[in-house]
Amino acid sequence: MREFLCLLTLPAALSALVPHRGASRFFLDTADEAEWASLLPLGIFHGVTTNPVLLQRAGVECTVPSCHHLARRAFDYGAAEVMLQAWGGSADALVSCGQALSGGDERVVVKVPITAEGTRAASVLGSLGIRVCLTACYASEQALVATAVGAEYLAPYLGRMDDAGKDGRAECERMEAIISGLGGSTRVLVASIRHVDSLARLAAAGLDTFTFSPAVARELFEVEPLTTAAAAEFEAAALAAPELVEEEELEMVVAA
C-alpha cells in the first residue's frame, strides 16, 4: 500500500493520468463562448470549428480581428485546434483571407469550400505551410480532390446530404475508403451530425473525426438513463453510511 501511494506522488505517475484519446478527434461546432465554457472542460474535444454562419449566430463579427480574438479565447478554454473559415469569391481572395486568419499560428486550420476556386486556394495555402480543411463536401467523389491537393481535413455534411436525398452515411464511409485507397492522410471530418446514433454508427464503421453541436454533445450524456440512475445509487449509498466508510478506510491504512 505504502509503495503504491509513493508511486502516485511521482511525476511519471501523474503524467500517466493524462487522457489518451487514441486516433479520434472530436470538435465542438459552435462559436458561442458560453458553450465552450460549459462543454470543453469535459475533456472529450480536440478543438472547435466555426464558419461565418456560426459566427453570426453567436453575435461575432466576421472579421479577421474578431476571428483572432475568438481563436485566442478557444485556446484559453483548452482547444488544441481552432478552425476558421476564409471568405472571398475568388481563389486569390480566399488565399489572402486564409493567410490573415492563420496569422502564423499552427493551431489554426483554415477552411475553404471544396469548389474549383477553393481547391486552388487550398493548394496555395498548403504550399505556404497553412493547415487546410476543405468544407461543404456533399459527394464521395470529392474525396479524390481533397486527397490529391493534400488537404488535412475534408468536411462532409452528413445531415444535409440526407436532406438532399443522398445516403449520407454511405457517402462518408466511401470517402474514407477512397482516401485510404489513394494512400492519403486526409481526415474525414464529419459535420452536420444531428444525433448521437449517427456518430456511433460512423465510428463503428471506422471514421474517427467529427464535429458536432452542443446539443449533440449533451445528448452523449443523456442517451442512457440507466447510467444516471446508477450514478445516483452510488451517491446515495456513499451518503447513507459515512461512518462505516471511514472505519473501513482506517482499517485499510492500519493494515498497510
- All three cell numbers of 186, joined, read 486526409
Q: Are residues 92 and 184 in the same domain?
A: yes
User: Looking at the structure, do residues 114 and 236 belong to the same domain, yes or no?
Assistant: no
Neighbours of 76 (CB within 10 A): 12
Q: Please identify which of the residues 25, 111, 131, 187 carries the catalytic annotation.
A: 111
Rounded-to-integer distance, Cα 206 and Cα 116, Å: 29
2: in domain: no
Total number of domains in the chain = 2
**Quick one: 109 and 174 in the same domain?**
yes
For residue 132, being part of any structural domain is answered with: yes
Question: 173 and 214 share a domain?
Answer: yes
- pLDDT value at 137 more than 50: yes
Q: What percent of the chain has pLDDT over 90?
A: 77
pLDDT in tens, 60-115: 999 999 999 999 999 999 999 999 999 998 999 999 999 999 999 999 999 999 99
pLDDT at 228: 84
- Claim to verify: residue 190 and residue 231 sit in the same structural domain: no
**Dihedrals phi, psi of 89, to nearest 5 degrees:** -80, -10
For the stretch 176-224, pLDDT in tens is 999 999 999 999 999 999 999 999 999 999 999 999 999 999 999 988 8
Is the residue at 4 inside a domain?
no
pLDDT exceeds 60 at position 9: no
The reply to whether 176 falls in a domain is: yes
Distance in angstroms (rounded) separating the CA atoms of residues 172 and 101 = 28
Q: With respect to residue 11, please indicate whether it lies within any of the assigned structural domains.
A: no
Residues 205 and 239 in one domain: no
Assess whether 235 and 218 both reside in one domain. Answer: no
Q: Report the distance separating Cα 15 and Cα 9, nearest Å.
A: 11
Is the residue at 237 inside a domain?
A: yes
110 domain residue, yes or no: yes
Query: Is residue 250 a part of any domain in this protein?
Result: yes
The more confident residue out of 114 and 22 is 114
111 given a catalytic annotation: yes
Are 256 and 162 members of one domain?
no
- Is 163 found in the same domain as 67? yes
On whether both 132 and 174 belong to a single domain, the answer is yes
Domain around 256: 225-256
CATH code at position 74 = 3.20.20.70
Whether residue 18 is predicted with pLDDT greater than 80 in this model: the reply is: no
The b/e string for 211-237 (b: 16+ C-beta within 10 A; e otherwise) is: bbbbebbebeeeeeeeeeeeeeeeeee
Residues 255, 154, single domain; the answer is no
Same domain, 122 and 170: yes
